[in-house]
């Protein structure tokens, strides 16, 4: 029959998600956004985002380096869930950015749904797949990008 989920692996993934969030909120992140790439297996990484982009490997590094300095604020994660078996795991969460744009000072709140595919490599969980999307209002089909929480 089916495999059972490893509770210790799930706990490790939940801890990694919190560590990733701390790295995104670290004061160094704007000056050195590539610091979070330690959470990724850059050689295997595929990233799909809400702007219909597909990025691989170091393209993700370049995207973070381009985007992160434009936003000043903090990110939080909510409703984090994980499943794991062996050296493979998946997590899903809601990530909310609240702050302002550096150039204009405009206040923004951005809400993303995120899914991470993890692989344990040499004893460390690394993201090999990442997908971002906006929550969508089912009645209208419109993205709810500015909701503080879904």
pLDDT for the residue 32: 83
Mean pLDDT throughout 12-31?
91
134: which residues sit within 8 A by CB, 6+ positions away?
50, 111, 112, 113, 143, 144, 145
Q: Give, in words, the CATH class of 7-133.
A: alpha beta
Domain ranges of the chain: 7-133
pLDDT of 18 strictly over 90: yes
pLDDT at 51 over 70: no
Q: What is the pLDDT of residues 85-144, one digit of tens each?
A: 999 999 999 999 899 998 999 998 888 899 999 999 999 999 999 998 877 777 887 777
Where residue 1 falls among pLDDT bands split at 50, 70, 90? very low
> Which whole-number Å values give the CA distances from 16 to 39, 40, 91, in the listed order?
8, 11, 10
Report the C-alpha gap between 134 and 123 in whole angstroms.
32
Q: CA-to-CA distance for 62 and 56, rounded, in angstroms? A: 10
Q: Alpha-carbon distance 118 to 39, whole Å?
A: 10
Which pLDDT score is estimated for 149? 58
Q: Are strands 46-48 and 124-133 parallel, antiparallel or unpaired?
A: parallel
């Amino acid at each position: 029959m089916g495999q059972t989920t490893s509770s210790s692996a799930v706990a490790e993934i939940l801890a990694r998600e919190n560590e990733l969030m701390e790295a995104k909120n670290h004061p160094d992140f704007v000056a050195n956004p590539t610091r979070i790439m330690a959470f990724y297996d850059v050689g295997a990484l595929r990233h799909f985002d809400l702007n219909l982009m597909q990025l691989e490997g170091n393209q993700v590094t370049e995207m973070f380096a381009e985007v992160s300095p434009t936003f000043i604020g903090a990110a939080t994660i909510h409703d984090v869930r994980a499943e794991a078996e062996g050296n493979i795991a998946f997590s899903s969460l809601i990530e909310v950015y609240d702050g302002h744009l550096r150039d204009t000072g405009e206040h923004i709140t951005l809400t993303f749904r995120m899914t991470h595919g993890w692989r344990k490599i040499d004893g460390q969980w690394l993201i090999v797949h990442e997908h971002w999307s906006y929550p969508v209002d089912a009645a209208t089909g419109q993205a709810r990008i500015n909701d503080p929480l879904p």
